[in-house]
Amino acid sequence: MKTIFQTNKDRGVFQEIFLDHWPSFKAKHDGYDDPQYTIPVQKMLDCGKESGGYAEYRCVHCGFDLFRVGFSCKSCFCLSCSKLYVDEFVAQVSKMLHPGVVYRHIVLTLPEQLRQPFYSVRHDGDLLSRLMKTGHQCLEEVVFVALRRNVKIGTMIVVQTHGRSGHYNPHLHIIMTSGGIKEDIDSWFDLRYFKYEIIHKKWQYHLFRMVKDYFKVPEIKIVYNN
């Protein structure tokens, strides 16, 4: 477990790296000179500093001794604040889970050939929205095939646009109910073992159909046909 001193030391090194190299990096990669990147970076750079806001404390006896505490940025990009960000996210997700229901964690990724086309329109939120909806549709059909019944499943979907290495790699993290409800008879059916190759095939089908409908250009058709 890291101590507060270690975390603050790491944060200081992290901030210095960005102070030294962020401007030149943006100049070389102009796609990152965008508010969705610059705002979190600036928050991280101001974390714990008076420039980012602070609380001021004075001695109640003499009125002269002054102590200032810089506000935290509360950004998921900050080494100090990301733990709190994750904890709050987990707490919110936990409130949505139903007691007694079993859930599964599914990760759906893009093939490497599609990452560049997605990157070219990375600022279009509609594409990522379609990607998440496609993920739900895919898993609902997977459950239909596995159970041989048309049921409604529950999903919570988070889209991540970068992998651990920092490269652009959109993928979906999905928490899904391990089963579903057949609405016409108001009955629940548990999802037990099934071959995970079903997910691979169904995701490939639904993803390429969505991509073909969104881009509508010859280059995408070549990838789709391959």
Pick the CATH number of 92-225 from 1.10.357, 3.30.460, 1.20.1330, 3.30.70: 3.30.70
Q: What is the pLDDT of residue 10?
A: 62
DSSP 49: S
> pLDDT tens digits for 12-21?
788 888 889 9
Q: What is the pLDDT of residue 9?
A: 60
> pLDDT tens digits for 79-137?
777 777 677 777 888 888 888 889 999 999 999 888 888 988 888 889 999 999 999 99
Domain ranges of the chain: 4-70, 92-225
Distance CA 168, CA 68 (A): 40
pTM: 0.69
Helix (H) or strand (E) holding 29: none
Residue with the bigger pLDDT between 42 and 4: it is 42
Residue 66, SS3 per DSSP: strand
> pLDDT tens digits for 25-69?
989 888 788 888 888 888 888 888 877 788 888 887 777 778 888
